[in-house]
Chain A
C-alpha cells in the first residue's frame, strides 16, 4: 500500500480504514435486501475452492507420472522420434586360400529395411507384392524379430525394386521403408568348396537361446556351417550406425554422429585352390570326398565333398521349398563327407594292423601265412578279395597286394584290444579336432566299447572283420587320412587345421621302432610302385606310397536308409602320400559305391600330381626371374574330365 503523504490523504486513509472496520455490519444491516446477501454463498464458494485444489492436484499428478516417475521411457521415445538411425552394415571378412586368392567375397548391394515403430499392417501386402515377397513369410519375419527396431526384409534389390522403394518411402506412402547398403556373400559357383567354406544365414531361435551366441541378436546374419560358422566371430565385423536428426516429416536436419562399420577380418586358409579344383573336378558326378593335408603340420590343402550344393542360394533368405529340397535330397548334399561320413575304412585300415603286429612282435617281416583265397576262424569262413588266393605271403606283399587272409591271422593273434590301442593311437575313433563344426568321431571297437554300447562281451570272431577294416570300425575320410599320414610322418599326428600360420598342434607321437615303421611304409610304397593295388597312383620323379580300400557297404548301417540303386556297391578308398619318406602331402579319396578301390586311386594321383607340378612350376618361376617376365600359367595341371578314374 502506498503511504499517503499529504494531510488530505492521511485523512482519507483514516476514513478508509475506519470504513473497512465497519464494513461488514453496514453491508448486512443497512444496504442490502436479504436475498442479495453474497454471504449466503460462502459455503458454495468453499466447495468451489476445494474443487479447484482437487483439479490442480489431479493435473500435478499427471505431470508427476510423466516427468518424474518414468522419464526414461519418454526421453527414449523422444529420441526415437528425432533420431533416424541407419545401420551401416559391416562386410564380412573374405575367405582366402594360401596364396591369397579369394574364395569367398562380398558384393555390394541394396537391402530394404522396415522401421518397426512405423510399420502399418495395411501396408505390408502392398510392400510384399511390389517386391515379390510372400506376404505370409514377411508377416512371420516381422512377428519373429520383435526385439529388433529395424528388420531387413529383402536383400539384393534389383534396379526396379530400388526405384519403386525410392518413390514410395516418403511420409505419405510407406514411411517404414528404408533403403540401406548391404553386402551379399558371394561364394564360388557350382558348390566349389562349399562344405569347407560353409554358408551364412539368419540366426535361428535355437541358436539365440544357447549361451554360445550371447552376443548375437535376432535377425543377425551368422555363419551356419563350415569355416563361416567356425570363424564367425573373426569374419563378422561390427555394424556401424549413422544417426541423423530428423523432424516430424522425416526430413533430415543435421548429422548427429556416425559410427563407422568395422569390416570383419579376412580369413587366410591353408587351402590351395589349385588342389581343391583338381579334387572338385575328379569328384564331379560322384559321391564321396577328397581331402589333402600336409602331414608335417596338419594343414588342410583341399577338402572336397560330393555331391555339393550352391551356398549362394543360402545367403539371402532361403525359401522353405529350396531348403527342404536340399535337406531331403537322398544324395545328402549338405553333409560334409570329409569330416562327417562314418564308413568302414576297409583295407586302408591294414597299415594300422601292420604296425600293431610289428610293434607287439606278433609278426615280423618274415612271418608267413598261406592264403588259399579265404580262411575259417571260429566256425566262420572269411574270404580274401582275391578268390584264387595269394599263396604263401609275408608282410610286405600282404600290404601291397592287400591280402585279407594275412591280416585275418594278424588280427586273430593280436586280439581286439591291442588292435584298438594302436588304432586309437592313430586317431581312429577320435575326432581329429579340425576347426570345422560337427565333426564325427567314428568308431573303433574294443571289449570296453562293446560292453559300453551293447552290454555284451566281445567275441573273438568279431576281431577277424575288424582286422580288414570292416565290422564295427567306421572312420571319416579325414580320420583315416590323418591316421595313415601320421604313420608316414614317422608316428606324429598333427591336428588338422584350416587357418594358415597357425602353430601346428602335435596331438600324439608314437615311439615306434624305425624299422617297423619303415616296413609298413615300404609295403605302402609297394602298393603304388610294385604292381600293387594302387599302381595307378604312380608319379614320375616322386615316390608315392599309399593304401587302397574296398569297403563293403552291406555290413554297415550307414547307407541302408538311402534307397539308392547302387547303394550296396562297395566303397572305394585310397589314401596316398608322397614322397614316401618325409611326406609333404597326403591325400584321401573316398568314392562311395565306387565298386573297386582302383576307381579311387586316380583321384589321389591327380591331386598329388597337381601338388608336385605346382611346386616344380614355382621353383622354375623363381629361377627364371632374371629372364623377361612371362605371366605364369594359371593352372598347369591338365584338367581330366569326369572320367579321371579311367
Chain B
C-alpha cells in the first residue's frame, strides 16, 4: 500500500505550523544571543531543526504498530539509558541530565518521553480487563511510567519528570476511567500535595515560594520571575524590537534563548507577536488532536493524544512561567527553545503523529 503513504498524505498543515514555530525560534535565538557567548546557538538550532525533519520523516515511515510491538525493548533501553546517564553522565549546573554520544551531548530524559508515549499506547490497547481500567492496570501503568520518572527526578530534573505525567493522564483518560476512580485519584492527589512538598529539594521549595511571593526576595529566587514579567511587560502591545529590548540584551532575563525564550520574544514582539506565536501553538496542538480523531485504531489515537497532551503541558508550564502564572520548572518551550535533544524528541513525536496519519487508510 506504498501509494497511500505518498508525500502528499503527510500532514502539511502540521509541518507548516511546526516550521513556522521553528523559524520564530531560530530568529529569536539569533536576536537573544547577539554578542553573547551563545552567539552560535541559532545556526546550531537550524542544524537541529533540519536533522529533526529527517528524523520526523524516518519516524513517520516506520509503522507505529511495529514500534508498539517492540515497546518493551525500547522501555528497557530507556531505563538503561537513564541509569547510564546517572552513572556516566555530564554534570552541568549541579544536575546530571546529559550523556555524550558521538560528540553530541544528549538529554536522555527527553527521548524517554517518546518511549513512554508508545508504552502507554501499547499498554492501553492490550490490557486484559475488558474495556475498563482496573486499579491493578492503573498501578501497573503507574509503576511503568513512575520508575523512569523517579530516575529523572533524581538527576535532579523535576520539570522534565513532570512532563511524563500528562502522557499517562491523557492515555488513561482517553481509554476511559470510571468517575469513581477519578474522584478517588483526585482526592489522593490533593491530600498528598502538601506531603510531597516536604520531599522537594530546598531550591525547589524556594522556587515554589518565590512563585507565590515573587516580591519577597527580588534579588534571589524571585529574581527570574520578576525579570521575566518585566521583560514581558516592557514589550507592550507592539514590542521593543531587537535593539530596544533591554531586559533581553542587558542580561536581566535568565537564559533568554532556552527556557525564557518566550519572555525575550514577548519583549521584542509585544502582545501582537505573542498572540501570533500562541495561535501557531494552538494550531499545532489542534492538528495533532485532529490526527488522533482520524486515526483508524486506538493505538494511533493514544499516540497522538499523548503527544498533544505533552505539547499542551510544555506550552502551559513554560509560557505560564514566563508571565509568572506557573512556577519556574526549567522545561523548554517546544520547537522554539534552543537545544538539540528537545527539538529532536519533538520532531520524532511529530513523526509518529504523521505516521498515524499516513496509516489512517491502512487495511
Q: Which residues of A contact B (CB under 8 A)?
A: 1-2, 12, 16, 19-20, 23, 26-27, 31-32, 35-38, 40-42, 44-45, 48-49, 51-53, 55-56, 58-60, 62-68, 70-71, 73-75, 77-79, 81-82, 118, 120, 245-249, 253
Contacts and interface: CB of A to CB of B under 8 A. Distances in A.
A36 B127 CA distance: 12
B274 A63 contact: yes
A38 B301 contact: yes
Given A67-B232, A248-B250, A253-B250, 4 more contacts: A38-B292, A71-B237, A77-B230, A77-B234
Contacts of B251: 247-249
Nearest to A171: B219
Given A74-B233, A81-B230, A36 B298 contact: yes
Interface stretch (B75-83, B145-153, B198-206, B281-289): B281-289
A20 B363 CA distance: 12
Contact of B233 (A26, A37, A66): A66
B242 interface: no
A81 B8 contact: no
B193 interface: no
B271 A74 contact: no
Contacts of A27: 296
B305 A52 contact: no
Nearest to B246: A82
B220 to A, nearest CB: 10
A71 B296 contact: no
B115 to A, nearest CB: 22
B232 A66 contact: yes
Contacts of A64: 271
Contact of B323 (A16, A42, A59, A253): A59
A67 B236 contact: yes
B47 interface: no
Contacts of A67: 232-233, 235-237, 266, 270-271, 274
A248 B8 CA distance: 50
B232 A58 contact: no
B250 A82 contact: yes
B155 interface: no
B316 A71 contact: no
Q: Is the interface of A mostly helix, strand, loop or mixed?
A: helix
A63 B227 CA distance: 14
Interface string B1-14: 00110001000000
Interface string B173-190: 111100000000000000
Chain A to chain B: the 8 pairs with minimum beta-carbon distance, closest first: A74-B233, A62-B323, A248-B251, A78-B234, A71-B236, A82-B246, A66-B233, A67-B271
Interface in B293-316: 293, 295-298, 300-301, 305, 308-309, 312, 315-316
A26 B363 contact: yes
Contacts of A53: 282
A49 B325 contact: no
Contacts, number: 158
Contact of B315 (A1, A12, A59, A82): A59
Given A12-B3, A38-B300, A48-B289, A68 B237 contact: yes
Chain B contact residues: helix, strand, loop or mixed: helix
A51 to B, nearest CB: 8
B109 to A, nearest CB: 23
B80 to A, nearest CB: 31
B346 to A, nearest CB: 17
Interface in B20-62: none
Interface string B220-234: 000000010111111
A48 B3 contact: no
Given A59-B323, A67-B271, A81-B250, A52 B298 contact: no
Contacts of B363: 26, 31
Contact of B246 (A16, A19, A45, A78): A78
Given A36-B298, A78-B247, A48 B308 contact: yes
B277 to A, nearest CB: 10
B213 interface: no
Nearest to B362: A31
B278 A59 contact: yes
Nearest to B272: A67
B275 interface: yes
A44 B286 contact: no
A70 B237 CA distance: 10
A149 to B, nearest CB: 15
B361 interface: yes
A41 to B, nearest CB: 5
20 contacts: A27-B296, A35-B298, A36-B297, A41-B292, A44-B173, A48-B305, A58-B316, A58-B325, A59-B315, A59-B319, A60-B275, A62-B320, A63-B275, A66-B233, A70-B233, A71-B233, A77-B233, A78-B247, A82-B252, A253-B250
A81 to B, nearest CB: 5
A12 B1 CA distance: 12
B237 to A, nearest CB: 6
Contacts of B252: 78, 81-82, 247-248
A62 B278 contact: no
Of A78, A82, A248, most buried by chain B (CB within 10 Å of CB) is A78
Nearest to A4: B8
B234 A38 contact: no
Contacts of B237: 67-68, 71
A132 B7 CA distance: 79
Nearest to B231: A78
B126 to A, nearest CB: 10
A74 B266 contact: no
A74 B323 CA distance: 12
A74 B228 CA distance: 10
B353 to A, nearest CB: 14
A445 B286 CA distance: 97
